[in-house]
Amino acid sequence: MVARFLADEAVAAQAAAWAQDYRLLAPVREGQAVVYRPWAPDMHPFLGRPPSSSAKQALLPQTEDLLTYTYRKDHTDLTRTEVFLAEPLPPEPTLVLGCRPCDARGRKLLDRVFLERGVKDPLYAAKRANTFFITLACERMENTCFCHWTGGGPTSEEGSDVMLFAVSGGFVARALTKTGEKLAAALPEATPSALQELEAKLASPVEPGPVPDLRAAPERFLALFDDLDFWTDQSARCLSCGVCTYLCPTCSCFNITDENFGLKGKRLRTWDTCMSALYTLEGSGHNPRVSRAHRLRNRVGHKFCYHPREFPAPDGARQPEVSCTGCGRCIKSCPVAVDIRRIVLDILEKGENK
Ligand code: SF4
Ligand code: SF4
């Protein structure tokens, strides 16, 4: 497959060209943050550092309409009301520009929740079939990154349609899927010097540091499950703000609410967070996850115990299939520096002798 080249100065024009055919989400700077925004003609895509928000919004938006409904009274029989339902329009083809490998891998983990558990979520499935990722390989790891713990890496291709690799003056683009080939076909061929530079970079990859063996994590988490002192200690600083879950590429909890406008209304799906006390508050007033300790235990347990137990890794795999891509956003954005890596290491250590 021919490698292509996207010059630095051509990024905005090429994004505009892709935006003719796709709803394009591109990273832009807003204050200190880098966030995905729908394409606008005066936009300047910023590829200089990983986006602060996750690309999951392309597949699971913060809020989306599931359906609209209209009530109609039968004027000949006032005891009767009919309800008419309308599904939303099919999702537009969507292209995410400039996500990182950890975000692209998040698609696989969202698929498990929405497509692989017996009942397929039709809206998610329609978006998934029509959403494509142009991913930028990472040249360095930030001090919050740990993708190498979780089966990924700075150049991991999983979930991407095109991979961009930074070289002098721009990016070498490698298509990884049929759609990726179509997207990359708009670009000129990469020059031999750009390819040589890339090969030299790939020959001396980022050194990601030691990787803990996570295979024992599910069992050790369960050994510590009832140790509330351990979880109270781990969650002592947590403010229950939920930022860690909202920014996570793999967190998928949502709430469903109806908004009524007279005899019309719409049913909405909106992100929710298991870090909130309201998340499990039952109508009776009982709350099975009454404290921050219970809630943090659930978040960590879901990612490093329940998920790998439900989706076992293939025989011989070096790591379990955890529901975390190691993007590090929950660490970087937590206002009180709760570090999920530290919690996992403590589980591995303290759960061993339980
Ligand atoms: S971001 Fe930090 S403080 Fe906020 S809920 Fe998550 S762990 Fe708690
Ligand atoms: S748990 Fe934290 S590090 Fe893991 S994918 Fe979610 S935000 Fe990223």
Ligand 2 centroid–CA 33 distance in Å is: 17
What pLDDT was estimated at residue 257? 97
Ligand 2 centroid–CA 334 distance in Å is: 11
| CB of residue 336 inside a 6 A radius of ligand 1 | yes
Would you call 54 exposed, middle or buried from its count of C-beta atoms within 10 A (0-12, 13-18, 19+)?
buried
What pLDDT was estimated at residue 298? 98
Structural domain boundaries of the chain? 4-350
Ligand 2 centroid–CA 187 distance in Å is: 33
Q: Which atom, in ligand 2's list, is nearest to the CA of 326?
A: 3
What pLDDT was estimated at residue 70? 96
Ligand 1 centroid–CA 276 distance in Å is: 10
Q: Which ligand is nearest to the CA of 242?
A: 1
Q: Which residues line ligand 2 (CB under 6 A)?
A: 247-250, 303, 324-330, 340
Ligand 2 centroid–CA 332 distance in Å is: 10
| CB of residue 276 inside a 6 A radius of ligand 1 | no
Digitized pLDDT (tens) for each residue of the chain, 354 residues in all: 789 999 999 999 999 999 999 999 999 999 999 999 999 999 999 999 999 999 999 999 999 999 999 999 888 998 999 999 999 888 999 999 999 999 999 999 999 999 997 889 999 999 999 999 999 999 999 999 999 999 999 999 999 999 999 999 999 999 999 999 999 999 999 999 999 999 999 998 877 888 999 999 999 999 999 999 999 999 999 999 999 999 999 999 999 999 999 999 999 999 999 999 999 999 999 999 999 999 999 999 999 999 999 999 988 888 999 999 999 999 999 999 999 999 999 999 999 987
Q: Whose CA is nearest to atom 4 of ligand 2?
A: 324
Ligand 1 centroid–CA 87 distance in Å is: 35
What pLDDT was estimated at residue 258? 96
Ligand 2 centroid–CA 265 distance in Å is: 35
**Contacts made by residues 338-342, CB under 8 angstroms, sequence distance 24+:** 338/234, 338/235, 338/237, 338/238, 338/244, 338/296, 340/244, 340/300, 340/303, 341/146, 341/149
Q: Which ligand is nearest to the CA of 247?
A: 2
What pLDDT was estimated at residue 335? 97
Q: Which ligand is nearest to the CA of 323?
A: 2
| CB of residue 251 inside a 6 A radius of ligand 1 | no
- Cβ atoms 15, 97 nearer than 8 A: yes
SS3 of 317, please?
A: coil
Q: Whose CA is nearest to atom 8 of ligand 1?
A: 238
Strands (E), the chain: 4-7, 23-30, 33-38, 63-73, 81-86, 94-99, 131-136, 162-167, 170-175, 254-261, 264-271
